[in-house]
Amino acid sequence: MSALLEVSGVSKTFDGFKAINNLSFSVNEPELRAIIGPNGAGKTTFMDLVTGKTRPDSGEIRYGELSRDLTKLSEARIAQAGIGRKFQKPTVFEDQTVSENLTMALKATRNPVTVLTKRPDESDRVADLAARVGLSDTLEQRAGILSHGQKQWLEIGMLLAQEPRLLLVDEPAAGMTSAERERTTAMLVEAAKTRAVVVIEHDMEFVRRLNCRVTVLHEGSVLAEGSLDHVCADPRVIDVYLGRPEEAADA
């Protein structure tokens, strides 16, 4: 086990609002980690910072053996370096078929000239991925006509296709039926055996099922870290998060 992602002293301010305030923590490889916290704690901003969507005002985010500073890389380069991201609401290319969506995500060169001229037959890899996420029957269907749950699975399939070393998952259980949640839990636990998986989640029941180390964010920095039972017993955590049942029920 070694630190794959090391966030140190990162801050980000939006129009005077401190979304991330001197945040420091690290994720190992392999590891399954859950990040919880009330609304506005900076969970999604943290993901935006790691994937290059937003740049921090200060601090650095080191990744991999070479300790590359992700704050200097473009989104595309970060993704190429092996960081995959699943968005809160399913974002697949609705105008394209399931197979086209998966093909685009497959780990392969991203160079435009090579993509245009070299066209290897990837149908086996695509069929294999589709089978893993239960979309074998819909390969030639447009992604736009899939159900919400199927789109979630397609996006997960696209993430698997990228073969990332670090997987960032934003609220995977949102809008899923309980059967789908169970499958998602199993998939995430399985994926975390060989790579680092960071899950942002509101749903405490879901986090409990993941049975992993939990980081609690509050006002843009780490409030507590440890097993779920450990952080739940922390009086500060109870104060800001768990102590307000009406909010927990909302989420």
Partner 1 sequence: MLIRKPSVLVFLASLALITIVATVLAQAGLVSTSFVKLLGKTLCLCIAALAMDLVWGYTGILSLGHFAFFGMGGYAIGMWLMWDRTETIVTGTLAQSPLPPTPLEIEEAIGTQIFGVVGSSDVPWLWAFAGSLPLQLAFAVLVPGLIALVFGWLAFRSRVTGVYLSILTQAGTLALSLWLFQNDSGLRGNNGLSGLQNIPGLESVSQAVLSLWFLWASAAALAGAYLLAQWTVSGRFGSVLRGIRDDEARVRFLGYEVEHYKLAVFTVTAMLCGLAGALYYPQAGIVNPAEIAPIASIYLAVWVAIGGRGRLYGAVIGAAVVSLASSWFTGGGAPDINLGFYVIKWTDWWLVLLGLSFVLVTLYAPKGLGGLVDLWTGRRSRNVGPMGPDVGALRSKEEQA
Pick 148 or 183: Cβ nearer partner 1:
148
Closest distance of CB 214 from partner 1, Å: 25
Q: Mark out the alpha helices in the chain (DSSP H runs).
A: 43-51, 75-80, 98-105, 112-117, 123-132, 148-162, 178-191, 204-210, 228-233, 235-237, 245-250
CA dihedral angle for residue 238, residue 242, residue 247, residue 251, rounded to 10 degrees: 150
Contact criterion met (CB below 8 Å) for 106 and 122: yes
CB of 53 to partner 1, least distance (A): 7
- Distance, in Å, from the CA atom of 194 to the CA atom of 39, rounded to the nearest integer, reads 31
* Contact residues: partner 1, CB under 8 A: 51, 53, 74-77, 79-80, 84-85, 87, 91, 93-97, 100-101, 103-105, 110, 112-113, 115-116, 119, 141-142, 144-147, 151, 158, 162
Rounded to whole angstroms, the Cα distance separating 86 from 215 reads 19
Q: State the minimum distance, in angstroms, from the CB of residue 175 to partner 1.
A: 12
Rg (CA), the chain: 18
User: What minimum distance in Å lies between the beta carbon of 76 and partner 1?
Assistant: 4
Closest to partner 1 by CB, 50 or 210:
50
∠ CA(200), CA(53), CA(112), 5° rounding? 115
30 cis-preceded (ω within 30 degrees of 0): yes
DSSP one-letter code for 227: -
Which CB, 65 or 119, lies closer to partner 1? 119
Contact 165, 196 (CB under 8 A): yes
C-beta closer to partner 1: residue 113 or 179:
113
Which residue number, 138 or 184, has a Cβ lying nearer to partner 1? 138
Which lies closer to partner 1 via its Cβ, residue 16 or residue 120?
120
Report, in Å, the least distance between residue 211 CB and partner 1.
Answer: 28
> Minimum distance between the CB of residue 34 and partner 1, rounded to whole angstroms?
21
* Cβ at position 192, least distance to partner 1 in Å: 20
Q: Which is nearer to partner 1, 53 or 244 (CB)?
A: 53
Half-sphere exposure of residue 87, counting CA atoms within 13 Å on the CB side? 9
Please state, in angstroms and rounded to a whole number, the distance separating the CA atoms of residues 69 and 67.
Answer: 6
